[in-house]
Structure 1
């Protein structure tokens, strides 16, 4: 006898996927019928007034990102562990926003587990000695040195870079991190712009693991901020911490990780001479920060934070210039989106964008394991977060 679906699971699965009843009904193809709105028909399913068909359950499994068997459980499973939550969220972020982050964490954890299992089955699992190797009580300077030495990080190379545009420094830093054994991904939504994750909600997270450590960076942030976030999350990896980081630091550990990243990208000696900024007008401070940003290949917000931490500008000035720079960036991003819509045919290809987000380490591993027969196209698709029919085109040409 086929077990009945638990209606409360249907509601829980939708809510933890971050979908409203209206959005879910549209995605599931539950339209209006017999004078009843599609959203109301979905509510009837969730209240147990009607039984979902198997095709509906399969659609829910896909849209809610849950295994089909989940809907036959007696009770909703426990919330997936985020590790440590290093964020202090603004009041305006609702349950839906938290659900989106939980869904992303669950997906990336599953991909990490598949990668680790693949490496272990192919006898390529090499424990990384730097994971959980550092005690924060030894200080931020010591960890900055440890990370720089292990990555073979050169500030000169970072600033000249091997990428293009403002993200060229990030391209170099990511290459160094991947060479050390870290998987660094850029993910800012759950597959569409409707599920974009605000950087105040989530800036990055680290999944600490001795064999397959993952770092995810919110690509909704400025590309110049990616390097700082990557180093911040690497500090968590060195501390052996799994967790989510948000916008401004409010805890001692987040301040510590920010200080580590700041010491690597902008040594204190380089801004020690900026004494003219003390008590200067906001316009003067912003102009100087912009100059430093162009020269040092780091974000405006990171420089402002560093100036604050070094006591060159006060908290009020830091807050005000950061807010203005943030609004300027949002305005520029909106203008870029508008230009992209007007010139859709001239934009980068799907595969180019996807490769950039996934990083070479994950792509090259998938390509090699596919060629060796250790990985099926469907499993490669799950690891890469794409459809199976895109796998070979995506990995083609990857070194």
Structure 2
């Protein structure tokens, strides 16, 4: 015990540059990390300059608060961190290196996808025939029509009473088609690690057994529908990756052909061009058109306006003005994020949303059949062991 106390008070021979690097990766100032560490900011500045060293206990606390391995601080230089998926993000401010939260999320979801892939292959599931069915040179109209058919999008729209309903029906139909869908606004259920919608809106994993789509629920609810379909389009053309669709950016300014195609496919699937043109009344003012079309398509004005812009029914200045108005209105209504982890809703429902119904049921089935230990299931679902029985009851009844 005495030896342990002495060790914790001993100076940690960490690399000063990596203290600075770890802080900057999290986008924190010296004052912010100092407040978390309960030390003066000039102490953190001294650590980074190499003028002082943290104690062993302080170094451990530093690593824990910044969500990095303790051993990272002892490396001689920062390791090169690469995205495990293709980076399709396009933003006018340039692409920054991925944050620790995004990297940890990708690692977690990729691990779950690999486990689910092995499970479904063992269970004899056939690969989804639509994955990679089309290519980058195919027409968005053809791809969108195929997606609408496979995902029963029109039935989902018919039964939905609202945009939220439509999103839930689409997610349900997507998973039934063989694509796993996970939605969350935090890393591994940790509400202290929110995801940044400015960094990414979603990503997709193309796979011939278990393709997967992830949606960042810190994004606006109206944007999540577009992102879901955008990422599904990535699966259809066999090009998975991390995306950050820019709703204000003109198609002519898009730098990446894959993103350009997936944007067009998403718009066409959600608001079919021919249908829009038949219902658009040129004599009506824009607001009157939107009132009727919003009810018809169960999507936000932005998706309707994007298709209208594509077909020269409005101009780019009108589109941008409406976009700015919608973002301002949404931010004033949403005091916090739409993330289900913070919504205070039903625990089991929120958990299934976060992990996806396909993955959750596979883990619970494996636990019931004693192929997976309860402790392993809890770790896979990011819950406590005592909560597993409640999830079983929620899925299958008592």
Q: TM-score range by the shorter chain?
A: 0.7 to 0.9
Q: 1:307 to 1:174 in 2, by over 3 A?
A: same
> How far apart are the structure 1 equivalents of 2:50 and 2:92?
35
The 5 A counterparts of 1:108-127 are 108-117=106-115, 119-120=117-118, 123-124=122-123, 127=127
> How far apart are the structure 1 equivalents of 2:318 and 2:143?
29
Contact map agreement 2:378 2:384 (CA 8 A) in 1: yes
| Equivalent residue for 1:186, pick from 183, 187, 193 | 183
Aligned to 1:266: 271
The alpha-carbon deviation at position 265 of structure 1 amounts to 1.9
Contact map agreement 2:113 2:212 (CA 8 A) in 1: no
Structure 2, unaligned runs of 5 or more? 1-11
The alpha-carbon deviation at position 49 of structure 1 amounts to 4.0
Aligned to 2:78: 76
Contact map agreement 1:183 1:215 (CA 8 A) in 2: yes
Deviation track 1:3-31 (CA, whole Å, cap 9, x = no partner) reads 9533333332333234333333444xx21
| Equivalent residue for 2:69, pick from 67, 70, 83 | 67
> How far apart are the structure 2 equivalents of 1:124 and 1:67?
36
> How far apart are the structure 1 equivalents of 2:208 and 2:35?
42
Aligned to 2:173: 176
Q: Which moved more, 1:366-375 or 1:385-394?
A: 385-394
Q: 1:62 to 1:363 in 2, by over 3 A?
A: farther
- What is the root-mean-square deviation in Å for CA atoms of aligned residues? 3.5
1:45 paired to 2:47: yes
| Equivalent residue for 1:223, pick from 221, 224, 227 | 221
1:31 paired to 2:29: no
1:362 paired to 2:362: no
Contact map agreement 2:200 2:242 (CA 8 A) in 1: no
The alpha-carbon deviation at position 55 of structure 1 amounts to 4.3
Aligned to 1:22: 31
The alpha-carbon deviation at position 110 of structure 1 amounts to 2.8
The alpha-carbon deviation at position 390 of structure 1 amounts to 4.9
Aligned to 1:285: 286
Aligned to 2:91: 89
Equivalent pairs, count? 371
Contact map agreement 1:202 1:218 (CA 8 A) in 2: yes
Q: 1:382 to 1:7 in 2, by over 3 A?
A: farther
- Secondary structure in structure 2 of the residue aligned to 1:14: helix
> How far apart are the structure 2 equivalents of 1:377 and 1:309?
52
- Secondary structure in structure 2 of the residue aligned to 1:184: strand
Aligned to 2:147: 147
1:12 paired to 2:14: no
> How far apart are the structure 2 equivalents of 1:119 and 1:134?
22
- Secondary structure in structure 2 of the residue aligned to 1:311: coil
Q: 1:361 to 1:325 in 2, by over 3 A?
A: same
Aligned to 2:302: 301
Contact map agreement 1:208 1:237 (CA 8 A) in 2: yes
Contact map agreement 2:367 2:377 (CA 8 A) in 1: yes
Deviation track 1:122-151 (CA, whole Å, cap 9, x = no partner) reads 834855444333212121122223333443
- Secondary structure in structure 2 of the residue aligned to 1:22: helix
- Secondary structure in structure 2 of the residue aligned to 1:329: helix
Deviation track 1:296-342 (CA, whole Å, cap 9, x = no partner) reads 211111111111112211111111122212222222223999xxxxx
> How far apart are the structure 2 equivalents of 1:167 and 1:350?
19
Contact map agreement 1:183 1:212 (CA 8 A) in 2: yes
Deviation track 1:199-238 (CA, whole Å, cap 9, x = no partner) reads x542222233334433222223332432221111011122
Q: 1:310 to 1:107 in 2, by over 3 A?
A: same
1:316 paired to 2:356: no
The alpha-carbon deviation at position 195 of structure 1 amounts to 4.0
